[in-house]
Amino acid sequence: MAELKHIPVMLKECVSALNVKSGGIYFDGTLGGGGHTRQILESSAPNGRVIATDLDDYAINRAKENLNEFGDRLTVVKSNFKNFSQVKDGLNINGFDGILLDLGVSSFQLDDRSRGFSYLADDEKLDMRMDASSPVSAETVVNDYKESELKRIISEYGEERFAAAIAHNIAEARKLCPITTVGQLNAIIEKSIPAKFKHDGHPSKRTFQAIRIEVNGELDGLYGTIIEMTRGLKKGGRIAILTFHSLEDRIVKQAFRELETDCICDKSLPVCVCGKKREAVIITKHPITAGEEELKINPRAKSAKLRVAERV
């Protein structure tokens, strides 16, 4: 397979947000193309460490090859970043100086049409699995889920106003033959959306996003993981999270607010009885977004939002 390219989103902003320092220990939960990891390793030289996780075998093998110059300063673990505590404890790490999550799909996953992530690859099979060993693929979701469940997923995860029509037409079409290719699904979505609403980007964009989120369980446990990760930081350590759609961003914002909230007792009480203490402060009162120069070379950064919190 030809080498696929990936441009890390808001590279400088992410590393700056983490306050990367020499000798620090960092966790990159979404290794992807390895661009953020490389910058953290370079900025934490000569003895900083990065523990990175990913589920994509291509990403892991590619990163190990491209980042081998850093030797044992980089530890790559095939795991979901949601297994943060297991990875941390397994490597006997007491606390991290910084944690980074880039919740977007890597460019090489989108560009490798055989992976079925892209709605532009009509002839390819529906897949969308970040972990190729997972038993649930996009084909599974489209052909095996009940119509009501498809409607819920497309509506909630895709924020698609025509979710009911799309789910119904999928259910009708699969009675005739299994839906196995990107092109088949595109055609169903195309006929489900009224013509006057097809001007806002590709008609399949929201539905494909929804199915991908379901296949990979992207939102499952994300809130709790953010809380857990922040508690795994050293005092003064930072967590920086890049999101690419409103559902993720909302979860990050809510988790950060929870971590920043101090005593929640009724103010009329003379002393605190709830015991809740502030665990972090939010550094970014408003999310950081990509600048004009970056957008010129990397349009995929357009929807990215970076939020940062610091352990107290």
pLDDT in tens, 215-241: 999 999 999 999 999 999 999 999 999
d(CA 211, CA 143): 12
- What are all long-range contacts of 170-179, with beta carbons under 8 Å and residues at least 24 apart? 170/142, 171/147, 174/142, 174/143, 178/139, 178/143, 179/126, 179/139, 179/142, 179/143
User: Please, which pLDDT band fits residue 111 given cuts at 50, 70 and 90?
Assistant: low
* pLDDT at position 51: 98
Same fold, 11-103+219-311 and 111-216: no
Strand-by-strand arrangement of the 74-78 sheet: 74-78, 49-54, 25-28, 96-102, 233-243, 305-311, 280-282
Residue 101 has pLDDT above 50, yes or no: yes
Per the structure block, which two tokens stand in for 300? Answer: 């995929």
Rg, Å, the chain Cα set: 21
Q: Is the pLDDT of residue 280 over 90?
A: yes
The CATH homologous superfamily for domain 11-103+219-311 is Vaccinia Virus protein VP39 (3.40.50.150)
Q: Per-residue pLDDT for 1 more than 50?
A: no
Interval 36-71: pLDDT, tens: 999 999 999 999 999 999 998 888 998 889 999 999
Tokens describing residue 217: 């369980």
Q: Is the pLDDT of residue 14 over 90?
A: yes
| Interatomic CA distance for residues 262 and 299, integer angstroms | 39
Q: Domain 111-216 classified CATH 1.10.150.170?
A: yes
Domains of the chain, by residue range, sit at 11-103+219-311, 111-216
Backbone angles phi and psi of 156, in degrees to 5: -75, -50
Question: Percent of the chain having pLDDT more than 70?
Answer: 95
User: Distance between CA 215 and CA 225 in Å, rounded?
Assistant: 19
Predicted TM-score (pTM) of the model is 0.90
Give 6's pLDDT tier (boundaries 50, 70, 90): low
